[in-house]
Structure 1
Amino acid sequence: MRYVLFSFTPNASTLCSELHKNLVNNSNDCTSYTTIKSQLPPNLTKLNLPLKEQIKVIFHNVDAIIFVSACAIAVRSIAPFLESKTTDPAVIVIDELGQYVISLLSGHIGGGNELTKQIADFIGATPIISTATDLNHLFAVDVFATKNNMYIDDMNLAKQVSSDLLNHKEIGLTSDFPVKSPLPDHLRMQSPDETSLPFGIAITLDDKKYPFEVTLRLIPKIITLGIGCKKGTPMEDIEFLILHTLAKHHISLHAIKQIASIDLKSSEEGLLSFCEKYHLPYITNTSAELASLEGDFTPSTFVKSVTGVDNVCERAALYQDPEGSLIIRKTVRNGVTIAVVLADYIIKFF
């Protein structure tokens, strides 16, 4: 995780230095700024920009911003950059004596509440969390989705889940994947032979699925898309085949967690443009690495003569997720080949 910390007094800077060390020791990337004029404690960097300018630089490039300061400093500095609970980073405030840790922003999707508890536990402070579902010990659909790497297809309906739970209403649930834990209170698994509740959650790859009159879809990001293409293939040809193939198989674009190919295509403009457009990680491997996979692949003599391996798309996808299932084999159009691998996936609420 990527964290940035700020402190403005000697006491706060000492606490900030200790917290920085702990976060780094737990495999996080941290930068810690201070404005104190005395000798800097270990791990701290002098803040050379005005605070709001520094916040502007980092705001959408970090997972969390942590202030060891008064709440007012944090609120005023982040206010101009707030956009959405789905994109804003977590913001946490700690008083300079380390008595309280406050989850100020993005407590659920941004992971602020969990981080607040972790920091409070480390420094021996009291965590301050104000989200209603947490206070009432209720299921929080946005936290659940974030922990399980799911896309929430309608944030307004996600808010309705919280509202209904707070009002003790039952919410339906269907899942295309095995559920291996008890359900949270007021969630009811919907069987095909019973009348459905008016509102419910569907855990599915199909963003057109409506098992309830009003359906919130949670789409697990568990698809690896393997791609091969001719040199210079336009992005539009790549995009058409991907969107058409996924729609044919009732798979949402939001289910893709990564794109994979061979290293010969590491600079392929059309592929890079597609990944940039849809904000998808792009991973490549050598022909030797892809050839090392054992299994039943769709071979091509021509592809092997060019790349050194008999198949790119199927092998590239499975190389990233060797325990997954090849659910769509090599599919071809206009010099583009794609294959789809589905990761093994189990639902756990607790």
Structure 2
Amino acid sequence: MRYVLFSFTTKAATLSSQLHKKIENDNNSCTSYTTIKSALPPYLIKLNLPLKEQVKEVFHNVDAIIFVSACAIAVRSIAPFLESKTTDPAVIVIDELGQYAISLLSGHIGGGNELTKQIANLIGATPIISTATDLNNTFAVDVFATKNNMYIDNMTLAKQVSSELLDNKEIGISSDFPVNSRLPKQLVFISDDSNVHSQGGISRQASNEFSLGISITLDENKPTFDRTLHLIPRIITLGIGCKKDTPMEAIESMVLHTLVEHHISIHAVKQVASIDLKGNEAGLLGFCQKYNLPFIVHSAKELSSLTGDFTPSPFVKSITGIDNVCERAAIYQEPNRALLIKKTAANGVTIAAAICPYKAFFDMDMT
């Protein structure tokens, strides 16, 4: 993780230095700024920009910002840059004596609450968490989604789920993937399939008994409930091949069309892979940038080392040295090598998709 620390007094700078060392000892990166005029403690660097300018520079480029200061300083510093709980970093405030660590921003999706507890443990502070689901020991759907690497398709429905759980109402939940054997209280497992058996106390009911529910699925249009909150696991690797100088729009259109045909959300894609010959292909790079997807390339030698039933192309082999790019690139990243979509081609673009094994895990403290 990437951290930035800010301190403004001598005591705060001393604590910031100590915390910086502990953070880096856990294999994280950390930058610590201070405004003190005396000699700087180890690891700290002088804050040369105005505070708000420095905060603006780092705000969307780090995972967590920690202020060793009064809450007011932190609030005024971050206020102009707040956008969304889905994108803002975690922000934590620690008093200069190290007595309290306060989760100020992005407690759930940004991991601020868990991080606050970890930071408090590092310095012997008391963690202060104010989110209602944490205070009431209630299942938090956004925390669950974050821990299980899922995309939340509707934050309004996510808030409604939390609201109803806090009102002691039950919420239905269905899953296209295995889940561990216990569900948190107030979640009721849904299945209309008589072949699905309850496990370890999970109850099974029909979806029409709940107007609001959660669906763990790759299909963001699956209408399991009247109001369905889709949680989409990011578990798909796309293998893409294309002719030289194929426009980004052609790649995007082909990808989206293919995924829709297979009832897979673009939000289920975790990465894109191809051959290293396409490492600088502008259309591929533009597509990955637009959807914030890592782009991974492999050599022809690496891809040809795979064994399996691939869709061959003499033309592709004459250009790249291997008989198939998209299928091989898709499964190269996945140890079980399971193709979900075999080679699909149109308009100079070839696409394949591989899926990695997946199982959803619930926080068993939420009982």
TM over 0.5: same fold? Answer: yes
Supply the AA of the counterpart residue of 2:18.
E
Retained in 2: the 8 A contact 1:223–1:341? yes
Retained in 2: the 8 A contact 1:263–1:284? yes
SS at match of 1:27: coil
Does 2:194 align with 1:181?
no
Does 2:21 align with 1:8?
no
Partner in structure 1 of residue 17 of structure 2 = 17
Structure-2 separation of matches of 1:309 and 1:19: 51
SS at match of 1:32: strand
Structure-2 separation of matches of 1:312 and 1:213: 42
| The 10-residue stretch of structure 1 (51-60 or 291-300) with the greater mean CA deviation from structure 2 | 291-300
Q: How much does 1:348 deviate?
A: 1.1
Counterparts of 1:331-350 in structure 2 under 5 Å?
331-350=344-363
Q: Over residues 89-143 of structure 1, what are the superposed CA-to-partner deviations in whole Å (9 max), with x where a residue is unaligned?
A: 1100001110000000000000000000001111111000000000000100000
Partner in structure 2 of residue 112 of structure 1 = 112
Structure-1 separation of matches of 2:82 and 2:129: 19
Structure-1 separation of matches of 2:38 and 2:314: 69
| The 10-residue stretch of structure 1 (216-225 or 16-25) with the greater mean CA deviation from structure 2 | 16-25
Supply the AA of the counterpart residue of 2:125.
A
Does 2:298 align with 1:298?
no
Query: Which residue among 317, 331, 334 is the counterpart of 1:318?
Result: 331
Q: How much does 1:234 deviate?
A: 1.3
Supply the AA of the counterpart residue of 1:28.
N
Partner in structure 2 of residue 61 of structure 1 = 61
Does 2:222 align with 1:209?
yes
Partner in structure 2 of residue 162 of structure 1 = 162
Q: How much does 1:250 deviate?
A: 0.3
Structure-1 separation of matches of 2:39 and 2:324: 60
Does 2:282 align with 1:272?
no
Q: How much does 1:301 deviate?
A: 2.0
Q: Over residues 4-62 of structure 1, what are the superposed CA-to-partner deviations in whole Å (9 max), with x where a residue is unaligned?
A: 00011111111111111111111111111011111111111110000001011111111
Counterparts of 1:120-139 in structure 2 under 5 Å?
120-139=120-139
Retained in 2: the 8 A contact 1:324–1:344? no
**Aligned residue pairs: how many?**
350
Structure-1 separation of matches of 2:78 and 2:248: 37
Structure-2 separation of matches of 1:325 and 1:235: 27
Compared CA separation, residues 196 and 130, structure 1 to 2 (3 A): same
Q: How much does 1:168 deviate?
A: 0.3
Query: Which residue among 190, 194, 199 is the counterpart of 2:212?
Result: 199
| The 10-residue stretch of structure 1 (134-143 or 286-295) with the greater mean CA deviation from structure 2 | 286-295
Structure-1 separation of matches of 2:302 and 2:2: 30
Q: How much does 1:83 deviate?
A: 1.1
SS at match of 1:77: helix
Partner in structure 1 of residue 203 of structure 2 = none
Partner in structure 2 of residue 260 of structure 1 = 273
| The 10-residue stretch of structure 1 (283-292 or 145-154) with the greater mean CA deviation from structure 2 | 283-292
Counterparts of 1:218-229 in structure 2 under 5 Å?
218-229=231-242
Supply the AA of the counterpart residue of 1:252.
S
Structure-2 separation of matches of 1:188 and 1:130: 27
Q: How much does 1:324 deviate?
A: 4.3
SS at match of 1:276: helix
Supply the AA of the counterpart residue of 1:21.
K
Structure-2 separation of matches of 1:38 and 1:120: 27
Partner in structure 1 of residue 39 of structure 2 = 39
Structure-1 separation of matches of 2:30 and 2:309: 45
SS at match of 2:209: coil
Q: Gaps spanning 5+ residues in structure 2: where?
A: 194-205
Partner in structure 1 of residue 70 of structure 2 = 70
| TM-score, scaled relative to structure 1 | 0.98
| The 10-residue stretch of structure 1 (30-39 or 127-136) with the greater mean CA deviation from structure 2 | 30-39
Supply the AA of the counterpart residue of 1:306.
I
CA-based RMSD of the aligned residues comes to 1.0
Q: How much does 1:322 deviate?
A: 2.5
| TM-score, scaled relative to structure 2 | 0.94
SS at match of 1:108: coil
In the TM superposition, structure 1's runs of 4+ consecutive aligned residues that sit over 4 Å from their partners are: none
| The 10-residue stretch of structure 1 (307-316 or 320-329) with the greater mean CA deviation from structure 2 | 320-329
Q: Gaps spanning 5+ residues in structure 1: where?
A: none
Structure-1 separation of matches of 2:360 and 2:56: 37
